[in-house]
Structures are given as structure tokens and as C-alpha cells.
Structure 1
Amino acid sequence: MTTGISELLAAASREAAPVVRGLRDDQLGAPTPCAEYTVGDLFNHLLHVVIGFQAVAARKEADFTTTPDYLEGDWRGRFGDETARLVEAWAAPGADEGAAGSMNLPARTLGSMVLLDLTVHAWDLARATGQSFTPDPASIGALAALVDEMAPTARQMKVFGDPLPVPDGASAFDALLAATGRDTGWRAPASA
């Protein structure tokens, strides 16, 4: 039986939430494994994706052309609220069936795309801020298939970097990260 995308998103949200709660204000300007993003920028991007993909699940259009600044008020709490709404949106009957979005992709593929962001960017934020992160194991297989399928297009669009080598015996998650162009040995600079 295939695990529903909402169940995978719920598990990924549970793993990402402690990382977001652990982000300190003095770390928001620190670098991340995503060279173009600081911790604050990456949080804003991730929350914007989470909010946007609620609309995608409901077959509405989402605007990803600009990313608002969400770093005000209880932004850590808002992340938990918005990921709960994301899970609810993808649990709605038919949300992961048929095609959706402006690219008219299979809805389950789109749900997997937000799952990838939620999982990989939680790792990015954890790595940038010296926190631990363990992804939900049930998601890794689905995400590996997605990355294999989408990688050529994602690299052309500069969403993924070139794949990096992984040592023998590397975990499936390390292989997934390397396939997106991430250096699994990346560490925050000592001053971050």
C-alpha cells in the first residue's frame, strides 16, 4: 500500500518543527548549505513553499515569484500552524489525484516536491545552525524516486546543483542530499 502524501508530510513536519523552533534570532544571517540563502532567507523560502503548496493541493494557483519576509511575530509557531494546514490540505479527498498546478504535473509529484523541500531544507537549517536532524525514513524512498525523475530539469533550472559523490556505505538520505548537489559534510563556519 502506498503511503498517502499527507501522512509523509505529517511525519516530515514533525521532524522539521524542532529544527525551526531551535533557530535563534542571532543565527538568521548565518550561511546555509544553499549558498544563495542565509538561515533567515531559507526559512522564509521554506515557509513560503509550505503556504504555496496548500493552495496547490486545493487546485488554486500559488505565487512563487517573490518571497515575503515571514520573520516577524511568532514565526516559529506560524511554521507549525502552516505545516499543519499543509498536511490538512493534502489529506483532502482527491488532493493527490490527477494533475494540478500551472505545470499540470501529477498532483502526487507536486506533493512530493513540497515533501522534498520540507525534508531537505530542514536538514539545511539544522546543519547551518548546529542542530541534529533525522528525516522520516518512510519519505526517503519516495524522495529518491522524485529526485531521480526531476533532477535533469531541476539542474537546468538551477534548483539542484550537480550531483556530488557519496562514499560507500552512505545512508540513503546522504545519497539523496548528494543527488541534489548538497555536500553532506557541509558544516557552518565556526563564527556562525
Structure 2
Amino acid sequence: MQKISELLAAARDQALPVVAGIDDERLGDPTPCSEYDVRALLSHLFQVVVNFQALAARQPTDFGEAPDVVSGDWRGAFARETERLVTAWDAPGAEDGVAGGMGLPARTVGLMVLGDLTVHAWDLARATGQDFVPDAAVVDEVGPALAALAPKAREGKVFGEPFPVQAGASAFEQVLAVTGRDPGWRSPRG
């Protein structure tokens, strides 16, 4: 079984070029997450990355309203925070026991942030006209984890209803669909 930190490093490596490639002119564009434009989704993802560092260390979190982080060197800040995320989940014991106040096994919590980082990188890529190909090992791990978490995530309005996909859909298209996303979603701007 691959360590969460190794999987997060692979997901980070796929997400960083997407975030670095976001043009400021696209910050108000819609995303596959209808409640977020690009700016708001970046702020949400940043908040997730920071809070899941704390969860790995069994420290308090704050999932209140996400502050707007899109100012100054936000691309560099995202790179630094995702590196801290990988480091936090690489610490001895990070995957052991129960993580934070979620009452879930630490590895499950680690897979949650792995899913967020991967799926939201796709959201941002689609919203800003970029390509995104997730790491295959990441998809292999998050697919079953997100499918198992989906019923509770739908109850909490974190996932939408599953999107119907055709037979032969790729493993990642199935991951997107289980979270309520249309794998064929495209930005109106292209």
C-alpha cells in the first residue's frame, strides 16, 4: 500500500502546473463546481490544503468561510502549502489511528484530501482551458475511497448526485461522476 504522502506528492505534481497556468483574467470564470468561480475554488482548495495539514498533525482546523487567498504570490503560496501538506502526511504516525475531529481513520482522511487536490485540479484545469491528466496510482486509490465516502458526502452536500457515465468510462471519469461532476464539462470560454 502506497503512503498517503507519496500519493499527495504525485497529486501535487499534477496540480501545480494547473495553478501556475491560471491567468488572472480567468479568476471570475465558472468552474464545474457551480457554487465556485475560479477565484473562490482556489481559495477553497487552499483552505482544504491548510486544514488537512492540521488534521495530519491532530491539530484544530477551521473550515469556516474560506478567505480570499488570490493576492500577492498566490501561486507560490499554493506550491508552499501543498509541499507542507505532503510533509505533514509523511510525518511518523500521520496515517495511524483517527485524524482530528472527523472521527475517521487517518488514512481515510488522507484519501479525502488526495481526492480534493486531484478533483479540484481537474476543475481548475477545465475552467481555465488547460489539460489535466491525474496520476494513475492516485486515481486507483481515490476511486474506491470516494465511492465509499459518497453517500455521506451527498448527505452533507459535499458531493452532488452521481453523474451518469457511459460504459467504458475511464477510472478518472468514474471518480468525477461519483462526485457529481460531468466529466465532459467544458468552460464556456474554451
Q: TM-score range by the shorter chain?
A: over 0.9
Q: Which residue of 2 aligns with 1:72?
A: 71
Kept in 1: contact 2:56–2:94 (CA 8 A): yes
Aligned AA (2:16)? A
CA drift of 1:145 comes to 1.3
CA drift of 1:166 comes to 1.1
Q: Which residue of 1 aligns with 2:91?
A: 92
Q: Which residue of 2 aligns with 1:31?
A: 30
Please give the per-residue CA displacement for 1:44-102, whole angstroms capped at 9, x wherever unaligned.
00011001111111100110012111111100011111000000000000001110121
TM-score of the pair, normalised by structure 2: 0.98
SS at match of 2:50: helix
Q: Distance in 2 between matches of 1:7 and 1:56?
A: 17
Kept in 1: contact 2:22–2:128 (CA 8 A): yes
Q: Distance in 1 between matches of 2:102 and 2:119?
A: 22
CA drift of 1:139 comes to 1.0
Q: Which residue of 2 aligns with 1:50?
A: 49
Q: Distance in 2 between matches of 1:26 and 1:84?
A: 26
Structure 1 runs of 4+ with >2 Å offset: none
Q: Which residue of 2 aligns with 1:107?
A: 106
Number of paired residues?
190
Q: Distance in 1 between matches of 2:5 and 2:102?
A: 21
CA drift of 1:141 comes to 1.8
Gaps of 5+ in 2: none
CA drift of 1:146 comes to 1.1
Q: Distance in 2 between matches of 1:85 and 1:147?
A: 23
Aligned pairs for 1:43-192 within 5 A:
43-190=42-189
| Superposition RMSD in Å | 0.9
Please give the per-residue CA displacement for 1:146-173, whole angstroms capped at 9, x wherever unaligned.
1121111101111111111111221100
CA drift of 1:13 comes to 0.1
Q: Distance in 2 between matches of 1:18 and 1:126?
A: 9
Gaps of 5+ in 1: none
Q: Distance in 1 between matches of 2:162 and 2:3?
A: 28
Q: Which residue of 1 aligns with 2:7?
A: 8
Q: Distance in 1 between matches of 2:99 and 2:153?
A: 18
Aligned AA (2:25)? D
Aligned AA (2:64)? T
Q: Percent identity?
A: 59
SS at match of 2:101: coil
Q: Which residue of 2 aligns with 1:20?
A: 19
Kept in 1: contact 2:161–2:179 (CA 8 A): yes
Q: Distance in 2 between matches of 1:170 and 1:117?
A: 20
Q: Distance in 2 between matches of 1:184 and 1:104?
A: 31
